[in-house]
Amino acid sequence: MSAAPTLLLAATLALASLAGGPAWAEEEERREPGLAIHLPGSSGLLGTGSMVDGELPSPLFGEPSPSLRGYSARFTLRYASDLRQRDLLGSRETRRLREVRHELTAFHGLTVHGLDLAFGLPYAWNLDRARVAGGSRLPGDDRDGVGRVVVAAKVGARIPNFVVGKWAIAGLSAYGIGRFPSSARARDELAELEAGLALIGPFGHALRYHGNLALKQRSGGHSSLVFRIGGSCLPLSGEDLSFRFYGHFAGEDHEGGAGLDLDFEIGGQLLLFGLVTVDVDLSLGVLDGRYLERPLRRRLEGFAPTRVDPGEAWTLTFGVGVVL
């Protein structure tokens, strides 16, 4: 991984953990997240979009919050539409790569005190990779079927006494997310494992900062540093209606000089009558490194780009479900 971005991002995340929000001397001075803490992110774990939440309602370590329910079972159906277009610049030619993917994933999640578990079974279709310029169309890959199964887990701790001046970390969790090919349609996709830490802290008035820092390992030996940093706001938190919106940057710094991928995510989560969940998430590409997955490099028939110019890149996700 490139050293400068890695050090800068690690330092930024470390500073954010210390300057995220004021520490309350009295617990009742904080606005508790209520049932909204049980809203799942895109990995199936509790969180916002791709961000893994650093807080659990009744952690394994530290004092639980008496006002939060310490358990939940979640069932979510999430649809994602992804478009990514890039210009691959070589020494003698330029090729344009367009990738379109639609995926429907059924998630089941379970939270018991300080342990959070999730399992996802995705179905993908209309996977289209094409060279629009500089060569013929790539070999077709339009098969439909089950994609990479998602298995995730998180263990959390509350740290009320971790204070520097007026700043505090409210919660810290260790998490792991694995994605594994499970069918013939997914045989060209790589297995990957992301493992790291998630933290959360209060700004006040239902504001929270969030941060993730993790290592990701793909089959074949490729590794990268994953980071996410941002915040969320909970303007409504009640028995009948809870609403949370969020925004954060999500980055991945690849080894071997492949550069940094950076996206900006924004979205909202709705909880109705303490039962029905609705979430919408939009991810926009900001930076695009030169990393191309091994199956895609094979399909490019030996073409090795020296630079990647990002074009249109976005992912829209919509989910509905229930939490019990």
Q: What is the pLDDT of residues 113-152, one digit of tens each?
A: 788 999 999 887 655 554 444 444 555 455 567 778 999 9
168 close to 22: Cβ distance less than 8 angstroms: yes
- The set of residues, in sequence order, having a beta carbon less than 8 Å from that of 283 and lying 6+ positions away, is 49, 50, 250, 263, 264, 265, 314, 315, 316, 317
- Which phi and psi angles does 121 have, rounded to 5°? -120, 105
Q: What is the mean pLDDT of the segment spanning 251-261?
A: 79
Q: Supply the pLDDT for residue 16.
A: 46
Residue 20 has pLDDT above 60, yes or no: no
Which one has a higher pLDDT value, 280 or 221? Answer: 280
Predicted confidence (pLDDT) per residue in 50-104, tens digit: 999 988 776 665 555 666 677 889 999 999 988 877 766 666 666 667 777 788 9
Q: Supply the pLDDT for residue 98.
A: 72
Q: Supply the pLDDT for residue 36.
A: 79
Residue 265 has pLDDT above 80, yes or no: yes
C-alpha 65/C-alpha 76 separation (Å) is 26
- The set of residues, in sequence order, having a beta carbon less than 8 Å from that of 310 and lying 6+ positions away, is 86, 285, 287, 288
Residue 196, domain CATH: 2.40.160.40
Q: Is 109 helix (H, G, I), strand (E, B) or coil?
A: strand
241 close to 210: Cβ distance less than 8 angstroms: no
Of 13-22, 30-39, 84-93, 288-297, the range with the lowest mean pLDDT is: 13-22
Q: With residue 4 as reference, give the H or E element that holds it.
A: helix 3-18
**DSSP character string of 169-216:** --EEEEEEEEEEE-SSTTTTSPPEEEEEEEEEEEEETTEEEEEEEEEE
190 close to 219: Cβ distance less than 8 angstroms: yes
Strand residues in 71-93 grouped as ranges (E): 71-89
* Share above pLDDT 90 across residues of the chain, in percent, rounded to a whole number: 30
Domain range for 261? 3-323
Q: Which amino acid is at 143?
A: R
pLDDT band for position 248 (50/70/90)?
very high
Task: Report the chain's C-alpha Rg in angstroms.
Answer: 20
Q: What is the mean pLDDT of the segment spanning 248-261?
A: 83
Sign of CA dihedral 311, 6, 12, 161: positive
Q: Supply the pLDDT for residue 245.
A: 93
212 close to 9: Cβ distance less than 8 angstroms: no
The structural domain count of the chain equals 1
Predicted confidence (pLDDT) per residue in 229-243, tens digit: 999 998 888 778 889
Q: What is the mean pLDDT of the segment spanning 265-287?
A: 92
Q: Which amino acid is at 234?
A: L
- The set of residues, in sequence order, having a beta carbon less than 8 Å from that of 272 and lying 6+ positions away, is 240, 241, 278
Question: Which of 3-12, 37-46, 199-208 has the highest mean predicted lDDT (pLDDT)?
Answer: 37-46
Q: Is 160 helix (H, G, I), strand (E, B) or coil?
A: coil
C-alpha 299/C-alpha 287 separation (Å) is 23
pTM for the full model?
A: 0.79
Cα end-to-end span (Å), the chain: 42
